[in-house]
Structure 1
């Protein structure tokens, strides 16, 4: 019997005693990585003073992490399939710790950007963790465990903001990164001690040319999106990067279809279940980020505007923190719905809840409790959706390609957030109101962004409707190097 089969199949349905510990450790590692992404938010306005550089240059401390994460996620996922998911998980955690230490020791821009780049290279921890779960957990534990792991991205982000704000307000900003390093060391030690290595291997050689091509295309695209507002959307640099991204993607796709062991199997991506799950992930990533952008600004704008609430960054973090807890709480419910109705229904339900949350936000945005309620509703919908996506992906790809497929799905969510950031930034920059000598985003501007967020959730619902009506789940994982489709069982959804 294949080592990739759920252990319950080998033990007559009994769960391994360490499975709960494995899930807890992997979820903790995911939370640590998502914490890293939010730790810098409270100090972004102060970075020019801390690093003795201009605001436009210190913005690279955020952009570098985005670009590094985009490049690392699909590449590390593929390396995990080839050489061991646990091994690459530990490498990613080491990069996180190293980057955190470099940032903690930084007093100028260059080492800070280097450190943030190293931190971004750890972004594949969550898809690697999900893939490890598929290989080592009992079948009956898998849905709930992967839902929890997938939700860890939102959990860490929500809990990290108030923690980072508290540390930034009361201690040196360097403590933020020493904290990240310490948490990374704990996560690494726990992974080494508790998490087993999967024996599932994809085999073959690593597609270096494909990885370089995909990296170049992603960097060009995301650089144009993230810096387009600063450089000008019609500037030669921005348009040149967009053009380069399109050209490189086309050449890369042509090459991947003709190489024996591609970095990304485009034929697998074209399967309906994988294709529409990834498209829905882009829409969900877009929708989720709209809330992350709007709610903090509404809370922090001066109350004299008539729609701002004049709260501190610490309050912002406390308002958003319950959302992360709700996402975690939705994991078992998402898993239960997936088990009985199928992940397609879970994903569509999540989209409806998110759209309803944004619609409610357009009406309720004048009190702190309004925003807490809205963020929790949207968080519940995201929790459902993020729990369903790994199940949909893993039900359509061989076990030997799980890490690469989950990593690409995570990348799709990140692409959605990047698109949302660019579009929302344009809208809020154009729709302003004068407050003294300062132009601030107008109330209608926020409402339009929220309406677009609701529209993105509706789009995700529409895309999910094209998913197969029957739920598929791998029951026999191919051995290393086998590219056959997984055997499947079906249940009506």
Structure 2
């Protein structure tokens, strides 16, 4: 496969002396990442009320979350490839506009279908984060790239953690549509700033877009993630669930064969099969699983009634405030993770992150009887996720051609999405299968919560194993 790459010193490229301040670029991309990540948790506070608000069933109302996950998974790798081909800034701006349009659609929605459409558009903007990481590689001095990538990577957790209490507070004092007007305003602000601040990358990989590959990947991902996210509702042994999973395997196989035979594929599977890239992506799935277990389990434990003997009876706003420091720790550790990577390499940072995540879940397994204990456990988990997330882009960009940075980072983001979607399915099954009855309500038991902590520890250990299999710099040099 050939590519056309413009050097930063080539004619038409932006001279280093004319480039905008690196700090301004990092701050802008960090803000964009936080706003895009906020979309993931925006509707969580109003999910219990959506069936009444939209005159629909709880099962159908869950599409407000499912649509966002599916759209993010499908569009992220595609936006990465488009960024490599047509300009990363151009696709980043288009993604931010999707936030604005999707939020406005949701703000006017009073029925299920418009809300689902708007939420899908919001989810399609998640590609902003891998695109931003790729822009950093193109625009910053090499010695500053690692720290900047750590900051932008951390925004995924920060946006989700901060968005939860903010959305809950807004939903308590205002009409739920205000949430989406707020999101539209934030998206518009980010778009305007990005247009003015972010330079267009001189690095391109022009050619014909692999539309067939994009359709094939989209179909395969929908067939995979739809039964994963809805299996708890449909039933895991239901023919529809099993049929979609089987169809996904067939489509993925056919898509892979087609990609290997395509001169300019959507995803270069030969590059993706390199041990450095392959094991990083596999570790990303496991870390994504562990991260989302924290987002699903700890809020329910904090809000469970005190009469259970293990619940803490917090409101949704108080729950969000309790867990918000976990996301802030991710951002605060960005400089630390960059220094660890500079000292021992991003592979070592990823391994340390996996160990810290496992330690956090082990802590809450034994200590979860008070609010402060859960807050500490959440912060430990957030620290581990922050270390891991900051290391992954560094591992990826160190193993792929410069002209494929955005596509490779998009694929890595997809791996994390698969991990979070799988976690949602597994954790939901465990919490629904181990319950206690309290009056007329059925809630997860303490054993159910502890079981999810054990599963998350196992996922973190799996990530540690995959990280250990990533070739070290010395092994790669010998190869």
Q: TM-score range by the shorter chain?
A: over 0.9
Is residue 313 of structure 1 aligned with residue 312 of structure 2?
no
Helix, strand or coil: the match of 2:436? strand
Match of 2:237 in 1: 234
Inter-partner Cα distance in structure 2 for 1:13 and 1:118: 35
Partner of 2:72: 69
Q: Does 1:120 align with 2:142?
A: no
Counterparts in 2 of 1:125-140, with a 5 A limit? 125-140=128-143
Between the aligned partners of 1:216 and 1:300, the Cα distance in structure 2 is 38
For 1:62-102, what per-residue CA distance to the aligned partner results, in whole angstroms no more than 9, with x for missing partners? Answer: 11111111110011110000000000000000111000000
Of 280, 283, 286, the match for 1:283: 286
- For residue 442 of structure 1, the aligned residue among 445, 464, 467 is 445
Do the aligned residues in 2 keep the contact of 1:90 with 1:188 (CA within 8 Å)?
A: yes
Kindly tell me: are residues 27 and 181 of structure 1, through their superposed partners in 2, closer, same or farther at Cα, counting changes over 3 Å? same
Structure 1 residue 434, shift from structure 2 partner: 1.9
The alignment status of 1:424 with 2:390, answered yes or no, reads no
Alignment correspondent of 2:35: 32
Counterparts of 1:392 and 1:13, CA distance in 2: 25
Whether the 8 Å contact between 2:358 and 2:461 is mirrored in structure 1 is: yes
Contact 2:8 2:202 (8 Å CA) reproduced: no
1:469 Cα offset (Å): 1.5
Distance 1:471 1:307 in 2: 50
- What SS class does the counterpart of residue 240 from structure 2 fall into? helix
Structure 2 CA distance, aligned partners of 1:290 and 1:388?
20
**Distance in 2 between the 1:6 and 1:420 partners?**
45
Q: Cα distance, 1:491 vs. partner? A: 9.6
Distance 2:301 2:262 in 1: 50
Write out the 4+ residue segments of structure 1 that deviate beyond 4 Å after TM superposition.
2-7, 10-17
Query: What is the TM-score of this pair, normalised by structure 2?
Result: 0.96
Deviations 1:313-336 (A, max 9, x none): 001110111111100011100001
Matches within 5 A, 1:370-409: 370-409=373-412
2:247 corresponds to which of 219, 229, 244: 244
Q: CA RMSD in A?
A: 2.0
Question: 5+ residue gaps in structure 1?
Answer: 473-489
Cα distance change on mapping 1:312 and 1:202 into 2, 3 Å: same
The structural deviation recorded for 1:37 is: 1.2
- How far did residue 445 of structure 1 move? 0.9
- In the alignment, does 2:459 pair up with 1:456? yes
3-state SS of 1:144 partner: helix
Query: CA 1:436/1:271 → structure 2, altered by over 3 Å: closer, same or farther?
Result: same
Aligned match of 2:179: 176
Does 51-60 or 293-302 show the bigger shift?
51-60
Within 2, Cα distance between the matches of 1:64 and 1:117? 5
5 Å matches for 1:188-199?
188-199=191-202
CA gap of 1:90–1:17, structure 2 versus 1, over 3 A, is: closer
Q: Which residue of 2 aligns with 1:92?
A: 95
Distance 1:138 1:381 in 2: 27
The CA deviation at 1:26 is 0.4
- Which residue number in structure 1 is paired with residue 155 of structure 2? 152
Please list the CA deviations of residues 201-220 of structure 1 after superposition, one character each: whole Å capped at 9, or x if unmatched.
Answer: 11121001110000000001
CA contact (8 A) 1:16 1:138 kept: no
| Cα distance, 1:439 vs structure 2 | 2.2
From 156, 164, 167, the counterpart of 2:167: 164
Distance 1:48 1:231 in 2: 18
Matches within 5 A, 1:245-264: 245-264=248-267
CA–CA separation in structure 2 for the residues paired with 1:132 and 1:471: 28
Structure-2 separation of matches of 1:138 and 1:15:
13
CA contact (8 A) 1:69 1:121 kept: yes
- The Cα shift of 1:60 comes to 1.0
Cα distance change on mapping 1:5 and 1:461 into 2, 3 Å: farther
Q: Which has the higher helix share?
A: 2
2:95 is aligned with 1:59: no
Tell me how far apart the structure 2 counterparts of residues 53 and 419 of structure 1 sit (CA, whole Å). Answer: 26
CA distance in 2, matches of 1:14, 1:143: 21
How many Å apart are 1:15 and its aligned residue? Answer: 11
| Count, aligned residues | 472
1:367 matched to 2:370? The reply is yes
Residues in 2 aligned to 1:433 and 1:96: alpha-carbon distance in whole angstroms: 40
In structure 2, the gaps of 5 or more residues are: none
The verdict on how the C-alpha distance between 1:380 and 1:6 changes in structure 2, with shifts beyond 3 A counting, is farther
Partners in 2 of 1:62 and 1:373 — Cα distance? Answer: 28
